[in-house]
A and B are shown apart, each in its own frame.
Chain A
Amino acid sequence: MMLTYPNLIPVLPELFMAFMIVLILIVDAFTSESKKGINLVLTLLTLAGCFVIQKVIDRGVTQLTFNNMFILDGIATGTKMFTYLFSFVAVLYVKRYVCDKQMLKGEFYAIFLFAVLGMMVMISADNMLVLYVGLELLSLALYGLIALQRDSVKATESAMKFFILGALASGMLLFGISFIYGGTGGYLQLEYILKAMLSQNDTNGALLVFGLVFIVAGLVFKLGLVPFHMWVPDVYEGSPLAVTTIIGSLTKIAAVVFIIRFLIGGLVLLNPYWSIMLLLLALLSLFFGNIIAIAQTNIKRLLGYSTVSHMGFVALGLVTVNVDGVSATLFYIVTYSLTALAGFGVLTMLSRDGFECENLDDLKGLSKTNPVYAGLLLLVMFSMAGIPPLVGFYAKLKILSALVASGYIPAAVFAVVMSLIGAFYYIRVVKVMYFDEPVKEIVPADTCVFSRTILLVNGALLVIIGIFPTMVMMYCNQLITG
């Protein structure tokens, strides 16, 4: 028997990342406390390296490897590049915080990269098991990151909560996968699942639908849609800000690609079933996410509930099951990640040892003490509220136009009304910063010019992409179509 080696080119960024994680762990073990900065440099190099490799190996065609279980197509390449870019920026935002809070620096960066690796695997998975492996790699890394502050009761509690609920969701997902496996006659490959569904009669229909319900439940848990959203605000609140920055901004892209592949790629024939489920969950998320966010005084919780509502918008794009809707979803999630990154970036950079900038009251009078940071957070809030000319407006406009085009006009009107409610709590944050008197002076902890410049650029991008959204929109469209 002749051994055939899999084509490793499509998987090079993942291999490079895995190698670098091991290297970081080894370097960390052999460096003294004063020289731990090397871990940060290695992490940034890893992400930059992955970006370059990803660009180099992109041949403009779909590449498959590992018995077609791993796919590198347009959407995978594009979203991975966004993931590296945003991860790079996130590392710059949290580096000072990680030092201040005395989180284990070597482990932090290694686990963080594990999470990114999990996202990369999820994005490129073309087989349900690979998808599952990627998802679990991401989840396990996140459990670790949240619990990294061992002395913090809140962090430990939220890690436990995330772990238990995450395990439950994983169980449901696996259960659903096994039904699909049985219902399609033994397939886990997305392409074959689709073929099997096309060729067979309806005898296994009930089995497939039954499996689908569990799969959707498992998937929307990762996205944080109501009623599987319970972990979101608790985990956002309980996690150290550095970790909330990562969970709140980066992980969403992978989760959406994962859902696009799974539902639209593999289970598109069951769309009459899953789109109605997704529609219902999206509307519920818009409603509860926005309503409950109003009552929040902790900004991390507020952003947690707001994420729930944003994910409702994201799901609405998928409900349309057409190119416009899906590309609108991708545009939404990319721009949302960029916006959330800026928001959490500001909060992280304002936090320091002994002070976590997490309550609305902490932001009182920020425009007086820190006009630039207040201005950035103002842009973030208005963008999230969907006020033009900020980028959040186009994200919502694209979703709404896809909905109207598909005939979901009542859903569009409902989403619009919910946006209005959302606007209330976003402008409350602006109110606190601009209209209230400062209680205490908040001095940014991070004085690194590079990080601050990146933060400014991040904020400026919300306006620039808002005024010139075409390029990013076309890119997202291109990722979906080809």
Chain B
Amino acid sequence: MMNYLLSLTIWTPIVFGLITLLINKNDCLARYFALLGSIIAFLFSLLIFFGFDSSATSMQFQEMWPWVGSLNINYHLGVDGISMPFVVLNNFITVLVILAGFKVIKHKVSLYNSMFLMMTGFISGSFCALDAILFYVFFEAMLIPMYLIIGVWGSSNRVYAAIKFFLYTLIGSLLMLVALIYLYFKSNGNFEILSYYKLPLSITAQTLIFIAFFMSFAVKVPMWPLHTWLPDAHPEAPTGGSMVLAAITLKIGGYGFLRFILPIVPDASRELAGLMVVLSLIAIVYIGLVAVVQKDMKKLVAYSSISHMGFVTLGCFLFANGTLNTWAVEGAITQMISHGFVSAAMFFCIGVMYDRVHSRNIADYGGVVNKMPVFAAFFMLFAMANSGLPGTSGFAGEFMVIMGAVETNFVAAILAGLTLILGAGYTLWMYKRVVFGDVVNSHVAEMDDVSKREFLILAILAIAVIVMGVCPNIFVAKMHASVEQLLTQVTLSKI
């Protein structure tokens, strides 16, 4: 079984999703069946986590079968220290998302759960794929369930948001497809991602490939100025959709930078690193400022996500003398994992309040702590983590990226560091307006504290945030060898 762990992790949720789709007459059964599927998939991913050899630099748990012979496409899977944490994170979040939708989703229950399960499988597939077309298939396939999740269970402006999300993501990935086909011919007809790492490419070709990949992954991250779909998609998506979008799908963008752009086109990456740093800083500072003025809690957290992901792209492109530094890249990955926990938690907290008051406007809240003390405590922890408080997961990643920046680009370090204050400002200000003070209206007065189900979800996320904050090394140790390997790869010129 250990030889097929990756396939089991990918296909278990997809198969469970398909079966859940058929259980459309019994909502309760559909919910529990979906939960079972997500738990089994998560357990498989845990086996990958614990079975992973931290000292190895090569891909592990590899599986390879010929798939589309005429185009030399293989079903080739494998994980290294960079992709493996995301597979675990993805399956972890799905369990919580399915649980979060238990009482909230009342129509098309089987379709809802089925879409999440299938999307989990597709996302895991993207992280595990070592064949470029296999990656592309999973990468694109996840658009279909997400489109339906936003459009069917979203808020009033969901249709616009769903279509915008779909088209934005598609435009980038189609250009990536052309780049992959080009690489296919350059490498004498194969789609093996790892073989592209050694492929000699002229600087012009590298630059064009960089742009094609950039269009795809920068939209997904999202980077300024390609970020505009996110503030539309998040507020309209249901709570589970927002959790998955922020916690997982954005990470595929960051992962794409590390798996595709940096090692395949290292020279172009070096050439364009300055531009990437500037774009990242704009995302961190400008989007941080935009977040301050938001009146909608979900929008605020959405903008804060863009700002936090700015740290990720910053970490990925902090070159000094043609070399990336380990701190920055490991910080970027740590930041992604941490953001997975924190953003999921923040969106879930907003979802909890929305289920009771049916409003996401900050102005409609106040004095929540008086009615929901337990919830307020959890929310406080997550708000602190979102602000980057030491001891929480939010601190670890940002700190590492800033450390990396200090070594290579001091101005970037100063700007990014100052923005941490901004992040703390908008998160805590929102927290203050929503949670503290007197009870402002009858809706808030009628709020009940968290249910057992909600408590369970919040507690699990809280544990994840604290454990990662206190012992980030659990994750960092797993990725270290792979990051070193990546850095070696990036230092080699291909011209």
Contact = CB atoms under 8 A, between A and B. Distances in A.
Nearest to B183: A404
Nearest to A400: B181
B13 to A, nearest CB: 15
A474 B70 contact: yes
Among A394, A409, A427, max chain B CB count under 10 A is at: A427
Contacts of B159: 431, 435
Nearest to A473: B70
Interface string B171-191: 100110110011011000000
Among B70, B141, B143, B182, max chain A CB count under 10 A is at: B70
A477 B137 contact: no
B175 A413 contact: yes
B174 A404 contact: no
B205 to A, nearest CB: 11
B162 A435 contact: yes
A232 B259 CA distance: 45
Contacts of A394: 68
A420 B171 CA distance: 6
Contacts of B5: none
Interface residues of A, number: 35
A401 B137 contact: no
A91 B201 CA distance: 54
B166 interface: yes
Contacts of B182: 404, 409
B140 interface: yes
A405 B185 contact: yes
Contact of B147 (A389, A404, A427, A474): A427
A412 interface: yes
A265 interface: no
Interface string B189-212: 000000000000000000000000
Contacts, number: 90
A388 B68 contact: no
A378 B144 CA distance: 9
A398 B178 contact: no
Interface string B68-106: 111100000000000000000000000000000000000
Among A388, A393, A398, max chain B CB count under 10 A is at: A388
A477 to B, nearest CB: 6
Nearest to A368: B108
B486 to A, nearest CB: 27
Q: Is the interface of A mostly helix, strand, loop or mixed?
A: helix
A413 B178 contact: yes
A420 B181 contact: no
Given A394-B68, A469-B68, A430 B140 contact: no
Contacts of B71: 397-398, 401, 473
A16 B71 CA distance: 39
B143 A387 contact: yes
A382 interface: yes
Nearest to A401: B181
Nearest to B175: A416
Contacts of B140: 387-388, 393
Contact of A416 (B137, B166, B174): B174
Nearest to A403: B181
Nearest to B176: A416
Given A371-B24, A388-B136, A423 B67 contact: no
A419 B158 contact: no
Interface string A464-482: 0000011001100100000
Contact of B181 (A412, A417, A435): A412
Given A424-B163, A469-B68, A388 B141 contact: yes
A434 interface: yes
A381 to B, nearest CB: 10
Contacts of A398: 71
Interface in B136-178: 136-137, 140-141, 143-144, 147-148, 151-152, 158-159, 162-163, 166-167, 170-171, 174-175, 177-178
Interface of A: 367, 371, 378, 382, 387-389, 393-394, 397-398, 400-401, 404-405, 409, 412-413, 416-417, 419-420, 423-424, 427-428, 430-431, 434-435, 469-470, 473-474, 477
Given A388-B136, A388-B140, A416-B178, 7 more contacts: A371-B111, A387-B140, A394-B68, A397-B177, A416-B174, A431-B159, A469-B68
7 contacts: A371-B24, A404-B182, A413-B178, A423-B170, A431-B151, A431-B163, A474-B69
Task: Report, nearest first, the 8 A-B pairs whose CB atoms are least far apart.
Answer: A388-B137, A435-B151, A416-B174, A404-B181, A473-B70, A388-B140, A401-B181, A470-B68
